[in-house]
Amino acid sequence: MARAREFDFLVLGSGIAGLSFALKVAHKGRVAVLTKREAKESNTAYAQGGIASVLSRDDSFGSHIEDTLRAGAGLCKTEVVEAVVKEGPARIQDLLSWGVRFARRKGAEEGFDLTREGGHSARRVLHWTDFTGAEIERALLESARNHRSIRIFENYMGVNLILGKGPARGEVLGAYALETATGRVHTFLARATLLATGGAGKVYLYTTNPDVATGDGVAMASRAGARVANLEFFQFHPTCLYHPQAKNFLISEALRGEGAVLRDRRGRAFMQRFHPLKELAPRDIVARAIDTVMKESGDESVLLDITHKPRAWLKERFPGIYATCLSYGIDLTRQPIPVVPAAHYSCGGVCVDLRGRTSLPRLYAAGETSHTGLHGANRLASNSLLEGLVFGHRAAQHCLASARPLPRGLKVPEWNPGSARDSNEAVMVAHNWDEIRRFMWNYVGIVRSRRRLERALRRIRVLQEEIHEYYWNFLLTGDLVELRNIAAVAGLIVRCAMARRESRGLHYNLDYPERDDRRWGRDTVLCRKG
The set of catalytic residues is: 283
- CA distances from residue 211 to 56, 203, 205, 391, 475 in whole angstroms, order as listed: 36, 10, 12, 24, 22
The answer to whether 307 touches 335, Cβ cutoff 8 Å, is: yes
Residue 496, SS3 per DSSP: helix
- CA distances from residue 42 to 255, 361, 365, 467, 488 in whole angstroms, order as listed: 23, 26, 16, 26, 21
The answer to whether 94 touches 19, Cβ cutoff 8 Å, is: no
Q: What is the largest CA-CA distance in the chain?
A: 71
Residue 444, SS3 per DSSP: coil
CA distance 232 to 456: 13
CA distance 428 to 433: 8
Residue 487, SS3 per DSSP: helix
Q: How far apart are the first and last CA of the chain?
A: 28
Buried b / exposed e across 408-422, counting CB within 10 Å, b at 16+?
Answer: eebebeebeeeeeee
Chain mean position to CA 498: 22
Beta-carbon contacts of 343 under 8 Å, excluding residues fewer than 6 positions away, are 201, 203, 204, 206, 207, 208, 209, 234, 235, 236, 237, 441, 445
Q: Count CB neighbours of 379 within 10 A.
A: 28
Beta-carbon contacts of 200 under 8 Å, excluding residues fewer than 6 positions away, are 209, 213, 214, 215, 218, 346, 486, 489
The 8-class DSSP code of residue 276 comes to T
CA distance 376 to 505: 8
Helix, strand, coil share (%) of the chain residues, nearest 5: 40, 20, 40
